[in-house]
Structure 1
Amino acid sequence: MCGSSVVLCCPEDGRDDEADGDDKGGNGVEKPQEVGQPKVTHSAALVEDLTAQKTAALRVELANNHDIALAAVVHAMLLSVVYDYCSNVDSALQIRLTHEHIETSMKRRDACRAVAEFEGLRETWGDHIPGNPADLWEWCLQQNRDELLSLLAFAAAHSVNAVRKLHCYDRKGAFEHADQLGQALAVNMTKWFEPTGDSNFSHINRQSIEAVIREEKGDQAALAVKAAGKKLEAVGIAERMVVDSGWLPEPVRISIPAADTKRDDADFDEETPHPVAAE
């Protein structure tokens, strides 16, 4: 163990093969070690030194073996997200996934299509992955590359977190990357979210409802919301007006980072000839 001395058995000086054989009983079981027999001991500092060199060698070999590296990463990630904590099963790779339980942030978890889809994925993989975490390593080694890549994507998906909470200013870069991730994945959020009264409009004030309709349908349509006698009526009007329009509330949109917008504008300026004043 780390931080303690390792004690190994060592044959006495001058002992020959025949003597070694005599130390075993007829059934091949070694006899108890005699008191005073020389031992090999390692200090904690030496153990740390030697295991650091062992680690360096493992790193080089793993870096040069893509298939085993893939299996090792998948093994470490699955231990983090599939199984309950098991103290006697771990990975040598210092890879841990933080798995945020985002369902607690949802008002209507059961109505979320993506949650249901992801639960389906977990059930599907649960039928393939060994139930005992101690069996996972050998199982990973037996899988082909495509299977391991699918598992890698499944495990990595657990760690995605684009939930914006109050006072989460330190995650601004993560939120920007979430949008970049969404762009790379070509995510169409209208497939996963429908703006209805229950999912959106009943949770914002009347002024916000009016602003949404003005943004999407224009001033005339916004007047209908403004003229509604009760908020519930305004919610119903807004819901009908945005149905099948593709409109989404800002927090659920996959937005384009400002840097990309500026870059696109610059590219447009370079490619588009500027008008020249007539002489």
Structure 2
Amino acid sequence: MSLLADPEIALPALLHPLVASVFYSGPASYRAEFAVEVSGQRRDLASCIKDLGAARALAHWSAVRETWGDHLPGEPANLWTWLLEQPTARLLDLLAFVTAANLNGVRAKHDQSRGRLEEAEHIATAPDLDMRAYWTPDAAFLSRLIRSGIAEVLGETGCPAEALKAVQKVPKAEAVAEAEKLLNGTGWLPGLLRTRSCDVAENVAVDE
């Protein structure tokens, strides 16, 4: 009952299993047991990204994670004591990070997890998430589309009909280069990166 009136202990107790699962690995962490039964996950999307150098959001995430890793104790056995020593503001920042690390808003092919994806959308729109700060329709993306898909993207941004016809007649490499120039500065996003606040269409044909 005392925990009800002591958030300065409750917050470290909640963080302990979450931080341990995100930042620590090895036999000691696998054997660890926690009184607060919160299931944390170690998620990593790097294996799903072909060009890591072009993934600005992932680079930012990795930098923040590395910064936290530099501040945490080297051994998981020392984590609890470290958490108790931190001010509440810092623990809240850490809670935001490990919560984000456990957020699963990935829409897999034929994914039927409607409730999970809807909640992920709610979470994304609460802080006005805008992926245009981290992603642009560059050649690496456009090269994965068939030419009609490239034309569809251009059409969504209001490009003239002549431009849409042109990219479907020239070689693929030329279509990609021209589309990249036309899309520069438009802020276009593919469906999976859009939140409800982005008023654009959803589906683009992808080159298998």
**Shorter-chain TM-score category?**
0.7 to 0.9
Match of 1:195 in 2: 137
Shift of residue 88, structure 1, vs aligned partner: 4.9
The question of whether the paired residues in 2 share the 8 Å contact of 1:77 and 1:97 is answered with yes
Task: Specify which of 156, 166, 179 is matched with residue 121 of structure 2.
Answer: 179
1:139 pairs, out of 71, 74, 82, with 82
Partner of 1:233: 174
Give unmatched runs, 5+ long, in structure 1: 1-59, 258-279
Over 3 Å counting, the alpha-carbon distance change for 1:213 and 1:92 in structure 2 is: same
1:117 Cα shift? 1.1
The 5 Å alignment of 1:112-123 reads 112-123=55-66
Aligned structure 1 segments of 4 or more residues deviating by more than 6 angstroms: none
CA-atom RMSD in angstroms? 1.8
Moved more, 72-81 or 60-69: 60-69
User: Residue 188 of structure 2 aligns to a residue in which SS?
Assistant: coil
Looking at structure 1, the residues matched to 13 and 162 of structure 2 have their Cα atoms a distance apart, in angstroms, of: 60
CA 1:68 to 1:234, structure 2 compared with 1: closer, same or farther past 3 Å? same
The residue number in structure 2 matching 1:125 is: 68
Q: Does residue 99 of structure 2 align to residue 156 of structure 1?
A: yes
Can you list the C-alpha shifts for 1:83-121, whole angstroms capped at 9, x where unaligned? 114255332111121232211111212321111111111
Amino acid at match of 2:117: F
Structure 1 residues 123-169: Cα deviation after superposition (integer angstroms, max 9, x where no partner): 21112111111111111111111011011111111112222222321
Identity percentage over the alignment?
34
1:76/1:95 contact within 8 Å kept: yes
CA–CA distance in structure 2, aligned partners of residues 215 and 203 of structure 1:
18
Counterpart in the other structure of 2:12: 71
**TM-score, normalised relative to structure 1:** 0.65
1:11-160 to structure 2, matched below 5 A, reads 60-85=1-26, 86=28, 87-160=30-103
TM-score normalized by structure 2?
Answer: 0.86
- Structure 2 residue ranges without an equivalent (≥5): 199-208
Give, in whole Å, the separation in 1 of the partners of 2:180 and 2:172: 12
* 8 Å contact from structure 1 (residues 226, 234) kept in 2: yes
Higher RCO, Cα 8 Å, sep 6+: 2
Q: Quote how far apart the aligned CAs of 1:227 are.
A: 3.1
Query: C-alpha distance in 2, partners of 1:130/1:154?
Result: 17
Equivalent pairs counted in the alignment come to: 195
Counterpart amino acid of 1:141?
Answer: L
Deviates more, 1:127-136 or 1:95-104: 95-104
